[in-house]
């Protein structure tokens, strides 16, 4: 099971990234636990300066932008 975290304060791009991740996980049948971290102190613990960010199994895969479909597939595989 993958541990997926979306880091972001709740801005439109952060919510869009969460929706994209949830859609992809469902479509691909990936078993994952998804959480959205909005607390700035927790976000800073990951060393992320620019959100939105996607953390997969405690590794930052995407930061500061919405990924293309290809980038999202690569990050989640």
Total number of domains in the chain: 1
Q: Which of 2, 3, 9, 11 is catalytic?
A: 11
Q: What does the pLDDT look like over 18-43, one tens digit per residue?
A: 999 999 999 999 999 999 999 999 99
Domain extent for 71: 2-76
Extended strands (E) in 1-77: 2-7, 32-37, 53-56, 59-63
pTM of the model: 0.92
Instruction: Report the pLDDT value the prediction gives residue 10, as an integer from 0 to 100.
Output: 87
DSSP, collapsed to helix, strand or coil, labels residue 69 as helix
Give the pLDDT confidence of 46-60 residue by residue, as tens digits.
Answer: 999 899 999 999 999
pLDDT for 64: 95
Does position 77 have pLDDT exceeding 90, yes or no? no
The CATH number for 12's domain is 3.40.30.10
Whether residue 15 lies in the annotated active site: no
Q: Is 11 a catalytic residue?
A: yes
Q: Which of 4, 14, 21, 55 is catalytic?
A: 14
């Amino acid at each position: 099971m993958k541990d997926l975290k979306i880091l972001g304060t709740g801005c439109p791009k952060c919510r869009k990234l969460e929706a994209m991740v949830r859609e992809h996980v469902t479509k691909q049948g990936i078993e994952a636990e998804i959480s959205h971290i909005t607390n700035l102190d927790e976000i800073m613990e990951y060393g992320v300066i620019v959100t939105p960010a996607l953390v997969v199994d405690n590794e930052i895969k995407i930061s500061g932008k919405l990924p293309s479909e290809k980038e999202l597939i690569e990050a989640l595989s």
